[in-house]
Amino acid sequence: MKKKSKLPEKKSKSFYDFYELTELVDKELGFDQRDAGKHFYPDTYSFDKWHNVKGYPETDSDGKHKRSSQIWFAEYQAEIASGKIKDTPYCDFWHWQMDACFGSEISNDSMNSLYVGDDEDEIYQVANDWQMKIQKVYKKLFYDISDDGWIDVEISW
């Protein structure tokens, strides 16, 4: 049985540090929720994975770094179009979470409420399977410290 992680201290009188909570979720998941596509779609290729498998150097024949190489990006896109490889879907939980789980609009250096509540709630009706799996970890870890499914958090990036 997995030992339950210790909750972080509240950042202020009534707010938890949102990023400390996300670190606990990542630890429980065993992967980065900001890049969940690698976990949920392991048979697909990101550009970086494709580049590594090809064994290409860091710069292309035009001297461009791999991230700005139009040559390699065109080749990568051609292999996707031909069906040779499947592109890893963009799965950043944070972007769904911002729309579905916060009480108000997110901004830097702000306080907000994060929903970690009931699986039957409306937000689960619009969630993809991968989003629902991650959200259930939030519920598992933090529902006991919530107020009817809501946790007060401080967000600063």
What ranges do the domains of the chain cover? 16-37+89-155, 45-81
Q: Is the dihedral of CA 63, 66, 70, 73 positive or negative?
A: positive
Determine the Cα–Cα distance for residues 49 and 35; give it in Å rounded to an integer.
13
Q: Residues 98, 123, 141, 41: is their CA dihedral positive or negative?
A: negative
Of 142, 120, 124, the residue nearest 133 (C-alpha): 124
The pLDDT of residue 133 is above 70: yes
Q: Which residue has the higher pLDDT, 118 or 146?
A: 146
Give the pLDDT of residue 105.
93
Categorize the per-residue pLDDT at 30 as very low, low, confident or very high, splitting at 50, 70 and 90: very high
Q: Angle between the 129-142 and 18-29 helix axes, to the nearest 10 degrees? A: 110
Q: Quick: pLDDT tens for 79-107.
A: 999 999 999 999 999 999 998 899 999 99
Nearest to 124 by CA among 106, 89, 149, 90: 149
Instruction: Tell me what pLDDT residue 126 has.
Output: 76
The predicted model gives 1-10 an average pLDDT of: 62
- From the number of C-beta atoms within 10 Å of its C-beta (0-12, 13-18, 19+), residue 4 rates as exposed
Say what percent of the chain tops pLDDT 90: 81
SS3 sequence of 42-76: CCCECHHHHHHHHCCCCECCCCCEHHHCHHHHHHH
What pLDDT score was predicted for residue 13?
59
Supply the DSSP symbol for 129.
Answer: H
- Model confidence at 125, pLDDT cuts 50, 70, 90, reads confident
Whether the CB-CB separation of 144 and 136 falls below 8 Å is answered with no
